[in-house]
Structure 1
Amino acid sequence: MSQQLNVQNLVVDLQTEQGMARAVDALHLTLQKGQTFALVGESGCGKSMTALSLLRLLPDNAVIQNGKVNLNDVDVFDLSEKQMRSIRGRRISIIFQEPSTSLNPVMTVGDQILEVIFQHTDLQAEQARKRAIEWLQKVGLPEPERRMGSYPFELSGGQLQRVMIAIALAAEPDLLIADEPTTALDVTIQAQILDLLKSLQQERGMAMLLITHDLAVVSGMADQVALMYAGQIVEVASAADFFVRPSHPYAKLLLQALPGEDLRGRQLAAIHGTVPPLTQTFTGCRFAPRCPYQTEVCTDKAVAMTALSDTHNVRCVRVHDASLQSLSLPPLLERAQATSLDHAVLLSVKNLSVTYSMGGGVLGGKKTFQAVKGVSFDIQRGQTLALVGESGCGKTTIGKSLLQLLTPQTQVTGQAILQGQDLFQLKGQALQASRKQMQIIFQNPFASLNPRMRVQEILEEGMKSLHPEWSVDQRKADLKILMDQVGLRADALDRYPHEFSGGQRQRIAIARALAVKPSLIVCDEPTSALDVSVQAQILNLLRELQDHLGVSYLFVTHNIGVVAYLADRVAVMHAGEMVEMGDASQILNNPQHAYTKSLLSAVPQLNTALS
């Protein structure tokens, strides 16, 4: 099998306010033609910076200090910028992590796909348009011909991700870099996209560098897996070896952090602490401060990779230590006894319908679209209702309607009774006061965090507005606790949102919702951008708040593992309607509706069985 990509000794430095950070440190990887190589690890460990280096799309404050990147026989770092433009899109293409920031907001979806086709193929006019529509159809975008004329703001997060994938594949590249390609997608579309990528590999021998925190996706897609930590690869192995015989303590802990129904009522094995600042000088194992197995030998000197086999290498000084092999992972902790709650109904929604008005003009009245159709549900104190279903089915619309965050042109009917008040009837100060009780964690943290405000100002904004009685000292103490709870260092308070990775920004968004201590939180995909270790930390935090404070959650998600672990009840949405609702175990193990059955059958499963 011929090599498609060979990366040798890649070193990338990043200039930050805290000093020069070594974002990628002496990275080596080889990717074969037709192979999928998965790069996994915590947010901020250098995965995306590695991907951007391969395309020479690094930000202005980053510099490649060393390394070679050979694509077949071409050294990418030796090419001029003009030559790189012919490489990007045609030879190497990328699916970016945040489509809402990488798509041009003033160009239609169709024009953005056509731009790639015109640039890198011989197709013109109607043939190019036909090819663009075919790609939108392949990635599962409804009404592809109509969507050619849509602008990015008219599409949901999942639909934007599908458009981004179509653009990346339109010129049929030799190498696809997929940076969290299915993060914003529901499981049915995720399965469709992953099947599409597999079929393209088989047809064209396309190589793929898959960057993701979804280990179940990695298990089903990857041939090789490399685990990164603090800028270094700490374990690389075949997918079979990695999932069946993880050897680095970090790998073992990650696999134990995955949520599921078997862990309900117990704390997940979150990895305490955070990735160390990459501005520091390291002398030993970078994972040692967080490792339950660390000894003095781990911090003595730099740790080199150790070969366990021809295809399995690990960066751990104790990997051959018999005492380490005999140690079991730290035991899973039972959850603290829940606060005694009467589980009375906190929020009661009756016959909720939401209709959007679109367009209009002199030739006719406005068009309307009913996004939510007569939905009813209750959320009890201290319990979690999970809303699941495909992208665009109305899940997020329900959450935003409860907080009156929809446009004035949107018509909302029905009732939403919270603490004896109908939320849809509240205005002015009464509406503001209700937000002490109810907050939201938005799906896209980049768009929902003010880029001109430091993190401390973002978090204090709600505290000052909704709880003016809190003193400066109380706010300061709460902020320190919040940072620790969501897995961020205290110095994050002095930085701006753009200085963080996608997963770190999501933690800030979660901290903002928690800051005012509400009784109900609408969680719109709150863990979709998080790696599994931080996801475990956040889920443990949400459980703890629920147990001790009686917080309730309306949890919008496509992660069925999270639903199985966290939800008390599940409601399944399809085309604006609620097609099935019941206890979580009942829905997940014995679904009755055909749509629910198809949804659950598409969920990727982690394969840790010996082959």
Structure 2
Amino acid sequence: MNAQLNVQNLVVDLQTEVGMARAVDALNLTLSKGQTFALVGESGCGKSMTALSLLRLLPDNAVIQSGQVQLSDVDVFQLSENQMRSIRGRRISIIFQEPSSSLNPVMTVGDQILEVISQHTPLKGEQARARAVEWFTKVGLPEPERRMGSYPFEMSGGQLQRVMIAIALAAEPDLLIADEPTTALDVTIQAQILDLLKSLQQERGMAMLLITHDLAVVSGMADQVALMYAGQIVEVASAADFFIRPSHPYAKLLLQALPGEDLRGRQLAAIQGTVPPLTQAFKGCRFAPRCPYETEACTDKAVVMSPLSDTHHVRCVRLQDASLQFLSLPPLLDRAQALSNDHSALLSVKDLSVAYSLGGGIFGSKKTFQAVNNVSFEIQKGQTLALVGESGCGKTTIGKALLQLLTPQTQIGGQAFLNGKDLFTLTGQELQESRRQLQIIFQNPFGSLNPRMRVLEILEEGMKSLHPDWSADQRRADLKTLMEQVGLRSDALDRYPHEFSGGQRQRIAIARALAVKPKLIVCDEPTSALDVSVQAQILNLLRELQDSLGVSYLFVTHNIGVVAYLADKVAVMHAGKIVEMGDASQILNNPQDSYTKTLLSAVPKLNQALV
């Protein structure tokens, strides 16, 4: 069946506390059978709202004002809700951005994939179960048979993402909407998943709408690219044209914001400011207030899409202006050579082991799983140690162990000295005081932010508890500055977490960790949910704090570009152990361990000539 998708003049409004926001404004796109169409742009620009519109899964405060969505021979907006249930999962499926909030917490992941298979395929019973295990195997989920009985809370973020992908593919849909499908995955599993999606497209002619901020993935996967900003598409082109000849100023800046080893020691080309509130009435170019090429003509009247060629269209009044070239990047920064003459370790971890209890066994004995096995490392003041490796190898467990955030049933061995004090021996007041110096940015911002508290209360909670001497005025002034630093407007302080996109929530989580001014931050995938422009803002901020205040980072990530840009040292983990550790340039350019070589070979490369 032909899964061609035609979207015409899609307009979506969103009711907010401050008025009606036009989340998607007159969007058009065409997606052919077997084609991948990438939708890219900053968090909050309307990408995910577009995806939810196609499935008619919009929140209660959203309404489709106009438009038509034609899926092959079906007009999606004309179907009843009962008819839509037979379409969702079978004809059109979605990989959601945040699997932890989209999977049912009281059902095993096995039951959740079986629900899809039983509903949308002829397979039942053991045949359905065999197909479910097959899909778990295809997406690289470890011990797929055992994982059929696991609940979402028992799995890591990367494993949950793989479960979500398996569920989305289980009924072999005609059209797959992939909303940040590889965000929480390490590069080896990401490569495996992307290869799987490509092979399914070749076998079945599956069409895919790929929503992502990873431009390297886009360059390797997409046939067409559309760049969104403030609810509008501002540039659409073939993937080859987009990366070789980006024409909108926003596109040029995005490509110059990508971190890498060649930009170590200098600021990334972060785009200043934030996406404008979509409740306002726009006149002229919506990107103009942030655009370094802005002229009076940009704000005079509405800007329409103009053709560069039959397949390349751009929304810019200065499209033919020869001066619209790439910016000269900021000069090299003189990073502090010696933030402290004291080269002793701020954090010294010795023979750290962590074992999880797996429940009762024969004669009441308890089985354990060794998540971390005799790991040792040091982090000096003002230094970044990047911890890389596949999902489930123990990276996040190390971070949580340092903050004593693991369950009482977890067995921890070894020592971790922060400024000479063993973290594993601290209790009560001493433990609380240690958290003035040690904070964490969690991988899943949706699960780590209290949904009943406004952002101001979330950020002030730690400040009040750990710095009771700070006045209310000082806290408020610090938080307004911090909001600007992480790329959010100050009015975000008065809103709730559910009112933000995934990337915006991640910025709030980062602000919370920074608010108490710690000496060491465990950064657990802090930029995984961020588009490249905001990622550049955050990385610039982290570097600025490191240079000025001597903050240290234990940086858990699968983004090798970020590692190459930010890290001083790299530790590569595999199956709970560190298999290789050394200077970042040495590990990335001349790895010695076979696992490290495999890991780095899977990193997607940007096929782009100008940057």
Q: With the length of structure 2 as denominator, give the TM-score of the two structures.
A: 0.98
CA RMSD of aligned residues (A): 1.2
Structure 2 counterpart of 1:270, one-letter code: A
The 5 A counterparts of 1:447-486 are 447-486=447-486
Asked if 2 retains the 8 angstrom alpha-carbon contact of 1:438 and 1:518, the reply is: yes
Q: How far did 1:341 drift?
A: 2.2
Q: How far did 1:73 drift?
A: 1.6
Alignment of 1:405 with 2:405, yes or no, is yes
The 5 A counterparts of 1:9-408 are 9-324=9-324, 327-338=325-336, 340-342=339-341, 343-360=343-360, 363-408=363-408
Residues 150-201 of structure 1: CA deviation (Å, up to 9, x unaligned): 1111110000000000000000000000000000000000000000000000
Structure 1 counterpart of 2:109, one-letter code: V
Structure 1 counterpart of 2:291, one-letter code: C
Q: For residue 528 of structure 2, what is the aligned residue in structure 1?
A: 528
Structure 2 counterpart of 1:334, one-letter code: L
Q: How far did 1:532 drift?
A: 0.2
Q: How far did 1:473 drift?
A: 1.4
Structure 2 counterpart of 1:335, one-letter code: L
Q: How far did 1:609 drift?
A: 3.5
Asked if 1 retains the 8 angstrom alpha-carbon contact of 2:89 and 2:120, the reply is: yes
Mapped partners of 1:576, 1:231: distance in 2: 44
Figure out how many residues of one structure are paired with residues of the other and give that number.
Answer: 608
Deviates more, 1:70-79 or 1:363-372: 363-372
2:323 is paired with a residue whose SS is: helix
Mapped partners of 1:365, 1:153: distance in 2: 23
2:452 is paired with a residue whose SS is: coil
Q: How far did 1:332 drift?
A: 2.5
Asked if 2 retains the 8 angstrom alpha-carbon contact of 1:353 and 1:372, the reply is: yes
Asked if 2 retains the 8 angstrom alpha-carbon contact of 1:336 and 1:547, the reply is: no
Q: Alignment identity in percent?
A: 85
1:20 is paired with a residue whose SS is: strand
Structure 2 counterpart of 1:467, one-letter code: H
Q: For residue 585 of structure 1, what is the aligned residue in structure 2?
A: 585
Deviates more, 1:344-353 or 1:30-39: 344-353
Q: How far did 1:335 drift?
A: 2.1
Q: How far did 1:417 drift?
A: 0.7
Q: How far did 1:345 drift?
A: 1.2
Residues 310-353 of structure 1: CA deviation (Å, up to 9, x unaligned): 100000010012333xx441432322542632243100000000
Asked if 2 retains the 8 angstrom alpha-carbon contact of 1:399 and 1:522, the reply is: yes
Asked if 2 retains the 8 angstrom alpha-carbon contact of 1:503 and 1:529, the reply is: yes
Mapped partners of 1:323, 1:355: distance in 2: 60
Asked if 2 retains the 8 angstrom alpha-carbon contact of 1:454 and 1:493, the reply is: yes
Asked if 2 retains the 8 angstrom alpha-carbon contact of 1:3 and 1:30, the reply is: no
Alignment of 1:501 with 2:501, yes or no, is yes
1:367 is paired with a residue whose SS is: strand
2:185 is paired with a residue whose SS is: coil
Structure 1 counterpart of 2:53, one-letter code: S
Mapped partners of 1:308, 1:479: distance in 2: 44
Mapped partners of 1:447, 1:322: distance in 2: 48
Mapped partners of 1:207, 1:226: distance in 2: 16
Mapped partners of 1:9, 1:366: distance in 2: 60
Mapped partners of 1:141, 1:345: distance in 2: 37
Structure 1 counterpart of 2:189, one-letter code: I
Q: How far did 1:361 drift?
A: 6.4
Mapped partners of 1:116, 1:2: distance in 2: 22
Mapped partners of 1:551, 1:361: distance in 2: 45
Mapped partners of 1:344, 1:112: distance in 2: 50
Structure 1 residues 2 and 124: alpha-carbon distance in aligned structure 2, compared to 1, 3 A threshold: closer
Q: For residue 423 of structure 2, what is the aligned residue in structure 1?
A: 423
Mapped partners of 1:366, 1:328: distance in 2: 61
Asked if 1 retains the 8 angstrom alpha-carbon contact of 2:265 and 2:334, the reply is: no
Q: How far did 1:511 drift?
A: 0.2
Mapped partners of 2:208, 2:547: distance in 1: 43
Alignment of 1:490 with 2:490, yes or no, is yes
Q: How far did 1:365 drift?
A: 1.3
Structure 2, unaligned stretches of length 5 or more?
none
1:323 is paired with a residue whose SS is: coil
Structure 2 counterpart of 1:540, one-letter code: N
Residues 341-394 of structure 1: CA deviation (Å, up to 9, x unaligned): 224310000000001112116843111111000000000000000000000000
Structure 1 residues 88 and 494: alpha-carbon distance in aligned structure 2, compared to 1, 3 A threshold: same
Mapped partners of 2:212, 2:335: distance in 1: 35
Mapped partners of 1:232, 1:589: distance in 2: 40
Mapped partners of 1:273, 1:248: distance in 2: 17
Structure 1 residues 328 and 215: alpha-carbon distance in aligned structure 2, compared to 1, 3 A threshold: closer
Q: How far did 1:10 drift?
A: 0.1
Structure 2 counterpart of 1:332, one-letter code: P
Asked if 1 retains the 8 angstrom alpha-carbon contact of 2:136 and 2:166, the reply is: yes
Mapped partners of 1:487, 1:336: distance in 2: 24
Structure 1 residues 362 and 138: alpha-carbon distance in aligned structure 2, compared to 1, 3 A threshold: closer
